[in-house]
Structure 1
Amino acid sequence: MIFMGFGFLATFLVRYGFSGSGFNVLLAAMAIQWAIMMNGFLLPQRQYRREIHISMKSVIEAELCAASALVAMGAVHGKTNPVQLLLMALVEVTGFVINQWILRTLLHADPVYSIMLLHIFGALFGVMVSWVLHREGINPKHEKEKTDRNTGLFAMLGTLFLWMFWPSFNSALVYHRWERELKLTVIYGTYLALAVSAVMAISVSMLTNSKGKMNMVHIQSSALSGGVAIGVAMTAVHTPWIAMTIGFFASLLSALGFRYMKDHMLFAFECHDTCGVINVHAIPGILGWFANLILRLASSESTIAMRFAVYQICVLLITVCMSLVMGTATGLFLKWSFWRPQQDRKCFDDQAFWEFPHLVVKK
């Protein structure tokens, strides 16, 4: 999912396929290594206080942290150079691990729940970086910000990788033997949410088009929104119809956001979100948080329910504030001319970073 799913999905731009897949490998590999170190420093295991212990669990947690960095990268896709992306990934992973440390230390949050907030944190972080780095040259739409048949097919291949393996993504940290039943419940619920979101994404795309045609971009992204939403609420979902309902509303909001919200964000807030991560990750993630809150309150007594509601709201507020503040600071840091930001005419173009032997002019 990290290397093939996100990698192929990032190739949708017609002249940014090399950079989309290549930079994805660079960021993912670097972010995983950095996340292992940061988790070891801030979230050490009890039996390994003075050393960073490498295990399957620590590697999986590091890859989930790397996923949050790749989500953030989607908001600035095509508008930054590799150095800026590396710095952004390092800061994002650091901020996300610090956010987990705050939630687990101060609020005693469940480790699985705190790490599954990666969608909300990564999306809002990336959107704030994109907002700070906004330039008039890509307004209203850059001439190279388009797709074609080949890039759309490769991006759909990435969607299929993510769609197929998302149940294992959500259930990766549910690993104890006595949690086997919960693990299977998470897998089944994630699959059902994804299935409903795929159908809903296609339906909304057709219904909102004047000619009744489907938009491949909507399907590539909105079909995954159910997996995002159910991931945040997975420990509270125990029946199939609830998982399907969450997938239904997540895909509905995501597809409508792609159809109407992206252009309005650029017009009203001067925020250019290339991959629409706010529609795929932030909104479904918040929907999953809200579903988790409602399901927990419905099964609790009034006094306990009130305390849990305050607790959940604090968790979300801390995550949102951390992502917004660190995203803004990172954007200001990356805006320095020292990092040699891309010129407007070189945005969304591979030739700024990659060799093309067949285009070399021999003197």
Structure 2
Amino acid sequence: MKSRSTSPRVKLPAFVFVTQVIVVALYAAFVTYDEHADARFQTNGTNPMDNAFYRDYPAFAHVQVMIFLGFGCLLAFFRLYGFGGMVFNFLTAVFAIQWAVLVQGYFQFSRGGKIHLGVINLLNAEFACAAVLISFGAVLGRTSPLQLLVMALLEVPVFACTEWAVLEYLKINDAGGSVLIHLFACYFGLGVSFMLHRPGLDDGHAKQNSSYQSDILSVMGTLFLWVFWPSFNSALTVRGDDQHRAVLHTFLGLSASTLTAFALSAALSKNGKLTMADVQNVTLAGGVVVGASVDMMISPAAAYALGATGCAACMLGYRYLTPFLARRFRIQDQCGIHNLHGLTGLISCAAGICAILVADEETYGPSLYETFAHRAPAEGDPKLQELRVLIPGLRAGLGRTAREQALFQVAAVFATIGVSALGGVLTGLVVKMPFLDPPPDRMCFDDGLFFEVPPDYDSPLKLINDTTQDSAA
């Protein structure tokens, strides 16, 4: 039976309609086409195949699959919350992307104070959306759709501000998003989860479990993410050898983490059997852990070693750290985002800093100053002119040393964690307000509160309860 206070009948449509009117007005006032989508810039001499669409769309399409199918299926692992996991992911993702186009565009105003929209804007907005969906995993099943939309509404601006500050002022290397996506999303989500702590769920919940069918669906999400993760990590790298390395390193890292996950899952299990939660999550650790150094000359062996190391950290985090955080720090992390994105993100950042410190011209040649653009000589430096003979069009950099660049990377890690955690706590203060219709404890992890569900949707749970009662009798 739906509770009147939690029914989405009035507040959800009102929120959606109001925000959509505002979004349409903002798009009308501030968004126009970029030069690759604007017919006025096309002439008889324009080669259609030079359009940025052909460069950016493949990565955009792959990330689309990750966002809507990968995350959607992965989050459908609760027995009675399959609709919520997939559909609220769908709802939140669409809202976050259209909102991120505006918020990120605010920091990129160009001609006439307009946002010039192209596929690259959508791709960047999907990275912001990925951060929102990762954070969503920490509060999965304990929030209403209205709470999730408000969370996205507040998280996207914090993400965009952090992204702009880190890239514009600290100017770091973060091709795979280890800092700006994984660490940010993790600690923002944990901040929200801390504020949404429910004492009644400290000892678990009867509906906080999976089923045979829900686990299969969740593994499908894992496979979508696994297959397309190389596109995610390489999408914004320098075209050419940098992008090529990013794909290779991501595949090797994922391969290592997958095999290691199967081995550790069996070894750490009391009966030596595989655990589906490990297959669904820990196998993906390699994609995160190579992110900060994914376009660098770290060697294939290092990518493989990083994948195995990240997997081990992630596995141990699920076994020991998640229960500790719940018990000692009131952080209920439903999807274990601290293990898959936080621990592996920190390892990735450490590996990236090491790779920056050892990078030199002997290893990279002149392309060192393309991969590490901020180490390129500043404008006016005679060396810049020499390098432009070898690399036509090379942009002036800041003339940083390897050590200086590494220190800026460290500063970015700490700044991102601090800002995201604080932003998550403040967002949690807003999201926990009663008028956003949080579900009662007894209806957490249950689709019946927000969806029209078929009569047999909870029959597996009833069967287990009946069997338990018969055994007790």
**TM-score bin (small chain):** over 0.9
CA–CA distance in structure 1, aligned partners of residues 276 and 219 of structure 2: 8
Q: Partner letter of residue 127 of structure 1?
A: L
Task: Count residues with an aligned counterpart.
Answer: 354
Q: Partner letter of residue 65 of structure 1?
A: A
Aligned match of 1:18? 83
Deviations 1:196-227 (A, max 9, x none): 00011111111111211111101110111110
Instruction: Report whether the alignment pairs 1:358 with 2:455.
Output: yes
- The normalised TM-score by structure 1 is 0.93
Aligned match of 1:149? 212
Of 212, 225, 245, the residue aligned with 1:185 is: 245
Of 425, 442, 460, the residue aligned with 1:328 is: 425
Aligned match of 1:29? 94
What secondary structure does 1:235 align onto? coil
Q: Partner letter of residue 2 of structure 1?
A: I
CA contact (8 A) 1:60 1:173 kept: no
Pair 43,112 (structure 1): closer, same or farther in 2 beyond 3 Å: farther
Per the TM alignment, residue 352 of structure 1 is displaced from its structure 2 partner at its CA by 0.6
Of 377, 395, 403, the residue aligned with 1:306 is: 403
Aligned match of 1:229? 289
Superposed, 1:87-98 pairs within 5 Å as 87-98=150-161
What secondary structure does 1:254 align onto? helix
Deviations 1:220-239 (A, max 9, x none): 10111110111222132441
CA–CA distance in structure 2, aligned partners of residues 338 and 288 of structure 1: 40
CA contact (8 A) 1:131 1:270 kept: yes
Per the TM alignment, residue 170 of structure 1 is displaced from its structure 2 partner at its CA by 0.8
CA–CA distance in structure 2, aligned partners of residues 152 and 266 of structure 1: 23
What secondary structure does 2:290 align onto? helix
Instruction: Report whether the alignment pairs 1:61 with 2:137.
Output: no
Instruction: Report whether the alignment pairs 1:219 with 2:284.
Output: no
CA–CA distance in structure 2, aligned partners of residues 284 and 339 of structure 1: 33
CA contact (8 A) 2:175 2:234 kept: no
Instruction: Report whether the alignment pairs 1:241 with 2:241.
Output: no
Per the TM alignment, residue 110 of structure 1 is displaced from its structure 2 partner at its CA by 4.8
Of 58, 62, 84, the residue aligned with 2:147 is: 84
Of 295, 301, 319, the residue aligned with 2:355 is: 295
Cα RMSD over matched residues? 1.9
Per the TM alignment, residue 356 of structure 1 is displaced from its structure 2 partner at its CA by 2.1
Aligned match of 2:437? 340
Superposed, 1:69-148 pairs within 5 Å as 69-110=132-173, 112=175, 117-148=180-211
Aligned match of 2:226? 163
Per the TM alignment, residue 319 of structure 1 is displaced from its structure 2 partner at its CA by 0.5
Per the TM alignment, residue 308 of structure 1 is displaced from its structure 2 partner at its CA by 2.5
CA contact (8 A) 1:64 1:115 kept: no
CA contact (8 A) 1:57 1:173 kept: no
Structure whose CA Rg is larger: 2
Pair 305,184 (structure 1): closer, same or farther in 2 beyond 3 Å: closer
Aligned match of 2:115? 52
Q: Partner letter of residue 408 of structure 2?
A: Y
Per the TM alignment, residue 112 of structure 1 is displaced from its structure 2 partner at its CA by 4.0
Of 314, 323, 330, the residue aligned with 1:254 is: 314
CA contact (8 A) 2:178 2:292 kept: no
- The normalised TM-score by structure 2 is 0.72
Aligned match of 1:283? 343
Identity %: 36
What secondary structure does 1:150 align onto? helix
Per the TM alignment, residue 22 of structure 1 is displaced from its structure 2 partner at its CA by 0.3
Pair 238,306 (structure 1): closer, same or farther in 2 beyond 3 Å: closer
Per the TM alignment, residue 166 of structure 1 is displaced from its structure 2 partner at its CA by 0.3
Deviations 1:94-140 (A, max 9, x none): 11110011112322335746686201101110111111110111112
Q: Partner letter of residue 304 of structure 1?
A: T
CA–CA distance in structure 2, aligned partners of residues 110 and 309 of structure 1: 9
CA–CA distance in structure 1, aligned partners of residues 243 and 254 of structure 2: 17
What secondary structure does 1:80 align onto? coil
CA contact (8 A) 1:43 1:101 kept: no
CA–CA distance in structure 2, aligned partners of residues 193 and 37 of structure 1: 34
CA–CA distance in structure 2, aligned partners of residues 121 and 162 of structure 1: 19
Pair 192,112 (structure 1): closer, same or farther in 2 beyond 3 Å: closer
CA contact (8 A) 1:65 1:96 kept: yes
Pair 133,14 (structure 1): closer, same or farther in 2 beyond 3 Å: same
Of 9, 19, 35, the residue aligned with 2:74 is: 9
Consecutive unaligned residues in structure 2, runs of 5 or more? 1-65, 362-399, 458-473
CA–CA distance in structure 2, aligned partners of residues 257 and 331 of structure 1: 24
Deviations 1:268-318 (A, max 9, x none): 1111000000001111111110000011112369x9343233211111111
Pair 240,114 (structure 1): closer, same or farther in 2 beyond 3 Å: closer
CA–CA distance in structure 1, aligned partners of residues 274 and 319 of structure 2: 11
Deviations 1:168-190 (A, max 9, x none): 1111113x6xx211111100110
Of 42, 61, 64, the residue aligned with 2:107 is: 42
Per the TM alignment, residue 339 of structure 1 is displaced from its structure 2 partner at its CA by 1.4
CA–CA distance in structure 2, aligned partners of residues 277 and 359 of structure 1: 31
What secondary structure does 1:279 align onto? helix
